[in-house]
Amino acid sequence: MVPSLSKKIAFLIVVFIGFVIFSVYNFDYESPLNNQISTTQNGQINSSDTGLIDKIIDKFVSSDKKGSEPFSMVISKKDGMIVLDGTFASVEESKTIFNMLNINRDGVYIYDENVFVDELLLSKIATIMPSFKDFFEDNAKLSVINDEVFLTGELKDYNHLALLESIISRTDLNLVKDIKIANPILIKEEESPENTLKKALTIDEIQVMINQVLTDNKIAFERKSSIITENSSSALTQIAKILKDNSKIKIEIGGHTDSRGEKALNKQISQERANSVKTALVSLGINENRLTAVGFGEDFPIAKDDANGLSEVNRRVEFNIVGE
């Protein structure tokens, strides 16, 4: 007589349960553990066998500590050059900050992997760096200590004060300032800082305004070409307005590259890019007789190229006032 289906299923269930019971009572639970941890006769774990446990503990401890301390740095002006000292998480991070802030010279660096960088704070500092370099005498300092920013130094001219305050206010940067003026003058009521910006600007002040535009909005080009990107239109429009408001000044448009590739080719592409910027400004209503386009290639770097000759900072367009 052939067993029914239900009886077959019942038989299989009984066999399965029996197998599970057999496994529970006969499995050697100590063997897998002994592969990882050996014990002494006293039942204590040998120190030589705790590597795995230590690594796990260290991982959680280190991940908890990593990035727990704010970075600190001091930017100084010495002999007209901008020097960077500070504590950073790595060499790569210090190089990034060096390029981002247009630093001229390395100072003393300390590396601590527990340090983290406030990128928003850093971007605000980058905005005021052209003013720091152009407005202040030597020995000025811009310091970041425990998330606080300190600006100390002596301004070259009283007229720089209002411009500096205007630029700082746009960054929403909370600064502790100790600023002196090299040649203080008595301020008449009509010469208050609020009215200073309404007066005719000096060439140095106009140059700073142009530099500030390029700091906020870099002029860029399509890859391997002299075609200006759409994102650069804002910077060109702002510069055109400055030139219209100061109709006597003449500008040299300088194209620059990094050191990747052949020097002659770099010279050529920098000239073509400078020409493109000149053409764009003429289309915005600037008399071409006020503009000179020069391609400098890789001859005037402002930062260190990497091992492959690459530097985003060195690939740039500069505007220099050359006369009235």
Q: What string of H, E and C letters represents the secondary structure of the chain? A: CCCCHHHHHHHHHHHHHHHHHHHHHHCCCHHHHHHHCCECCCCCECHHHCHHHHHHHHHHHHHHHCCCEECEEEEEEECCEEEEEEEECCHHHHHHHHHHCCCCEEEEEEECCCEECCHHHHHHHHHHHHHHHHHECCCCEEEEECCEEEEEEEECCCCHHHHHHHHHHHHCCCEEEEEEECCCCCCCHHHCHHHHCCCCCCHHHHHHHHHHHHHHCCCCECCCCCCECHHHHHHHHHHHHHHHHCCCCEEEEEEECCCCCCHHHHHHHHHHHHHHHHHHHHHCCCCHHHEEEEEEECCCCCCCCCCCCCCCCCCEEEEEEEEC
At residue 308, the pLDDT reads 63
- Report percent pLDDT > 90 for the chain: 29
Flag whether pLDDT at 40 surpasses 80.
no
Among residues 179, 178, 196, which one has the least CA distance to residue 187?
196
Three-state DSSP string of 25-62: HHCCCHHHHHHHCCECCCCCECHHHCHHHHHHHHHHHH
Flag whether pLDDT at 210 surpasses 50.
yes
Flag whether pLDDT at 222 surpasses 90.
no
At residue 37, the pLDDT reads 43
More confident residue, 210 or 162: 210
At residue 281, the pLDDT reads 93
pTM score over 0.85: no
Q: What average pLDDT does this structure show over 243-259?
A: 90
Q: What is the pLDDT of residues 4-25, one digit of tens each?
A: 667 767 777 776 777 666 665 5
Q: What is the pLDDT of residues 283-320, one digit of tens each?
A: 999 999 999 999 998 888 877 767 665 667 778 899 99
Alpha-carbon separation of residue 106 from 146, 192, 315 (angstroms): 22, 39, 20
At residue 287, the pLDDT reads 93
At residue 253, the pLDDT reads 93
First-to-last alpha carbon distance for the chain, in angstroms, is 117
Q: Give CA–CA dist 100/215, Å, rounded.
A: 10
Q: What average pLDDT does this structure show over 222-227?
A: 84
Q: What average pLDDT does this structure show over 227-240?
A: 89
Q: What average pLDDT does this structure show over 202-218?
A: 88
Q: What average pLDDT does this structure show over 262-283?
A: 91
Structure token digits, residue 95:
């190089």
Flag whether pLDDT at 31 surpasses 80.
no
Q: Give residue 184's pLDDT band: very low, low, confident or very high (50, 70, 90).
A: low
Amino acid at 222: E
Q: Give CA–CA dist 155/263, Å, rounded.
A: 39
Domain 66-199 has CATH 3.40.1520.20: yes
When the pLDDT of each residue in the chain is averaged and rounded to a whole number, the result is: 78
Flag whether pLDDT at 48 surpasses 60.
no
Q: What average pLDDT does this structure show over 221-246?
A: 88
Flag whether pLDDT at 191 surpasses 70.
no
Domain boundaries, the chain: 66-199, 200-324
Q: What average pLDDT does this structure show over 112-120?
A: 86
Flag whether pLDDT at 49 surpasses 50.
no
Q: What is the pLDDT of residues 67-86, one digit of tens each?
A: 567 778 999 999 889 999 99
Superfamily of domain 200-324: OmpA-like domain (3.30.1330.60)
